Amino acid sequence: MKDIFDKRTVLVSGKGGVGKTTVAAAFSRAAAAAGKRVLATEVAYETDSPTPLADLLGVKHATDDPQRVSDNLSMALLTPHAGHLHFLRDALPMRMLADAAMKSAAIRRFLLAAPSLAEMGLLYRMLNLLRRTRSDGSFEFDVLVIDLPATGHALGLAQVPSAILKVITRGPVYDAVKDGLAMMRDPLRTGTLLVTLPETLPTSEAIELARGIATHHVPLAGIVVNRVPHNPFSPAERAVVDALALDPQRTLGARTLPRLDRARESLARIESELGRPPMILPEIIDEAQVEARVFAAITALAGAA
Amino acid sequence: MRRSPDEPFTSELVRNKRVIVCCGAGGVGKTTTAAAIGLAAAMTGRRVLVLTIDPARRLAEAMSIPAGGAKPARVPAALLSGGGELSAWMLDPRVVFEGMVRRMSDSPERADRALSNKLYLALRDLIGGMQEYTAAEALHMFHVSGDYDLVVLDTPPSRNALEFLEAPRKLALFLDEKIIGVFLPHGGGGAGGLFWSRARGLVTSVFDRIFGEGFMGDLGAFLGGFSGMFSAMREHAESVRALLTGESASFLVVTSPDPAARTEARFLEDKLREMHLPFAGYVLNRSWAYTRGLTPPDTAGAPQTPDTASALRKLEALAAHESALAARDRDILQALKNGGQSEATATPHLGAAIEDFAGLTMLAEGLLDAHPDRD
């Protein structure tokens, strides 16, 4: 995990409700604190979609254009619309024609109605942001952090280019998608952080997703298990509690016991099935403290050899 | 029948509605809640179909139905009480879409031609986009079939969970004859005149440049294959909308206590109201708010060992922690009610994801029966 701050793109992926956005925000802050110029992004299909990452980073009105959050850290929405517009501007000889095209009802409706063209727009916008340079020729952003939507997870984004390449066999879309695919598959430039919870089903899904990502050659940087509960009991103490044979559905306190067991099993299963230990983020009950604690944990993990 | 103050609002819905749509952020247990809503209705004697998008394999197992069937499967009657029927189907976008094309096509040959088009075959694999189109279609199809008193739809796990409602409208907009004419090789019949030939010129030059030469030809063949079905599809999108905005439909927003999930739930409520869709209320899932029948741990029978005192102290600390969580979640439930402007009810806490039919039954009973969410 030490070299994760050296990637150009970090995809943060996972099912809904696992704390993916918290991890993306804390990771962005940690990389910025380590001296990287970071652009934190989240995918927004519609202009009025909720923007949880922007909320966490304190950006009131997130837009397609990067906005400064703090030293080294900026934030932008990743929208298909921005991708389509930049794409048309790059592909067409005149900017006017691109703007006219985006105003054409037929083209706009086509771009909205056709499946996967939205993802193509996202991919194009991603490349576009990665390639931006400053006046001295260096990249404007060293690292692009992408908080992926729960369904358009890393696997979905990896499938889109190969599907598009089947339909479109030449031209600028073909070139852009090929570049995007090459970048996403390069372990030196791209890393995926899979976020999951220490519960049976999310763990199975994360293992499945890790394997799916591998079949699409998208590099996995690490599995982050979030909200791991603290187990207060020594084995001897636990034996005493188990001897009470409390009904976990009906007894206060006992409802937590099976959860502690599932967490232990989940961590062991990830390590044995994927051959590497997961990164553990402890459960924090006080909502106000979550971000600072996750930030500290990620900084520590990235600093570890 | 007026319900008692403690009876959850969901009890009335599952007895009366014809369509219930469950929306919510990912990870809140939406699929399980949809299944429990369906089971609750079946327990009142109704014939119910639950359409799910992405059921956990264990949920399918709990309901004793196959995970990848081509049509709805009945939950064994022995599992059910109350004389109703419960079926479930994992929505297969391909089956729904191809079924729709076959119904709307004027000949089987024509349907075959449309469904074997190169562009269609490539797009069809991108299930993500197809789910939205087909969820509403499937809902309508089973509703009009007359086989079910209630159809429950678990919405696609999309960030914008109402995408599935927008999808048919977007399709309908695109299928506007004038618009589609621009993409068709010969203007699609209805389109003509200088304006449309100019529009077609612009679109062709843009598309050939960006997608490579010849793409317009492929697209024209693709759309041409489906033409003739367009007006039927458009009318259909309208009747789906009429069904979902009508009296017999109801939308539930499922959430967990997680702040991000609640933000999204509020967003969905606003969006539903804005779209004039019948928002019925919130179901707070995976919370500790439901405290019926809970007791503090009985430690009388603890074995006497050197570790007993510390073990029991730690167990009591866990119990206190859970009580604090319950208090927090009851506050969240009250906040969802928004001073009486919205309905909200909590489901029993099952710990892990649902394990078996007994767990599902507990959830269903929680949605039906009177229970104080307060202490």
Which domain covers residue A29, as residue numbers? 2-78+138-303
- The per-residue pLDDT for A261 is 92
Task: Report the alpha-carbon angle B338-A61-B329, nearest 5.
Answer: 30
* pLDDT, tens only, B263-302: 889 988 998 898 888 999 999 998 888 877 778 888 888 8
- Helix, coil or strand: residue A194: strand
Which is more confident, A215 or B21?
Answer: B21
Q: Is B216 exposed, middle or buried (0-12, 13-18, 19+ CB in 10 A)?
A: buried
**pLDDT beyond 50 at B1:** no
Looking at mean pLDDT, say which of A85-94, B220-229, B307-316 comes out highest. Answer: B307-316
| CB-facing half-sphere around the CA of A264: CA atoms within 13 A | 11
- The per-residue pLDDT for B276 is 86
* Contacts A156 to B, Cβ<8 Å: 128
- The per-residue pLDDT for B188 is 46
User: Are the Cβ atoms of B126 and A251 closer than 8 angstroms?
Assistant: no
- What is the number of other CB atoms lying within 10 angstroms of the CB of residue A195? 26
User: Are the Cβ atoms of A150 and B159 closer than 8 angstroms?
Assistant: yes
Under the banding of pLDDT at 50, 70 and 90, the label for residue A246 is confident
User: Are the Cβ atoms of B316 and A200 closer than 8 angstroms?
Assistant: no
Which CATH number do you get for residue A263? 3.40.50.300
Structure token pair of residue A74: 């900026």
- The per-residue pLDDT for A40 is 97
Residue A28 located in a structural domain = yes
- The per-residue pLDDT for B281 is 96
User: Are the Cβ atoms of A116 and B123 closer than 8 angstroms?
Assistant: yes
Q: Is B52 exposed, middle or buried (0-12, 13-18, 19+ CB in 10 A)?
A: buried
Instruction: Confirm or reject contact between A104 and chain B (CB < 8 A).
Output: yes
Under the banding of pLDDT at 50, 70 and 90, the label for residue A305 is very low
Q: Is the ipTM of this complex over 0.95?
A: no
Instruction: Confirm or reject contact between A103 and chain B (CB < 8 A).
Output: no
Mean pLDDT across chain B, nearest whole number? 79
Fold of B9-103+130-162+239-294+302-368: Rossmann fold (3.40.50)
d(CA A125, CA A144): 11
Residue A130 located in a structural domain = no
Would strands A67-70 and A38-43 be described as parallel, antiparallel, or unpaired?
unpaired
CA distance B89 to chain A (A): 20
Instruction: Confirm or reject contact between B317 and chain A (CB < 8 A).
Output: yes
Residue A107 located in a structural domain = no
Per the structure, the count of domains in chain A is 1
Residue A277 located in a structural domain = yes
What percentage of residues in chain B have a pLDDT greater than 70?
74
Name residue A195's beta-bridge partners: A224
Helix ranges, chain B (H): 9-16, 30-43, 57-62, 93-104, 108-115, 118-124, 127-145, 163-174, 177-183, 193-211, 215-226, 230-245, 259-274, 308-337, 357-368
User: Are the Cβ atoms of A106 and B119 closer than 8 angstroms?
Assistant: no
- The per-residue pLDDT for A2 is 65
* pLDDT, tens only, A29-44: 999 999 999 999 998 8
- The per-residue pLDDT for B255 is 94
User: Are the Cβ atoms of A173 and B317 closer than 8 angstroms?
Assistant: no
Structure token pair of residue A39: 């652009």
**pLDDT beyond 60 at B354:** no
The ranges assigned to domains in chain B are 9-103+130-162+239-294+302-368
What percentage of residues in chain B have a pLDDT greater than 90?
25
Mean pLDDT across chain A, nearest whole number? 84
- The per-residue pLDDT for B41 is 96
- The per-residue pLDDT for B189 is 47
* pLDDT, tens only, B154-175: 876 554 556 656 655 665 565 5
Give, in order, the Cα–Cα distances in Å from A200 to each of A15, A150, A205.
Answer: 13, 18, 9
* Substitution target from B94, B159, B197 for chain A, most A beta carbons within 10 A: B159
- The per-residue pLDDT for B315 is 93
Closest CA to B92 of B49, B139, B127: B127
**pLDDT beyond 70 at A212:** yes
Instruction: Confirm or reject contact between A109 and chain B (CB < 8 A).
Output: yes
Residue A17 located in a structural domain = yes
Instruction: Confirm or reject contact between A174 and chain B (CB < 8 A).
Output: yes
- The per-residue pLDDT for B375 is 39
Lowest mean per-residue pLDDT among A133-142, B90-99, B126-135, B352-361: B126-135
Q: Which residue of A has its CA nearest to B117?
A: A167
* Substitution target from B211, B226, B354, B375 for chain A, most A beta carbons within 10 A: B211
Looking at mean pLDDT, say which of A208-212, A257-261, B79-83, B281-285 comes out highest. Answer: B281-285
* pLDDT, tens only, A107-146: 666 665 565 677 778 888 998 899 999 999 999 999 999 9
**pLDDT beyond 70 at A216:** yes
- Helix, coil or strand: residue B67: coil
Residue A101 located in a structural domain = no
- Helix (H) / strand (E) element for B78: namely none
d(CA A172, CA B27): 38
* Contacts B160 to A, Cβ<8 Å: 45-46, 49
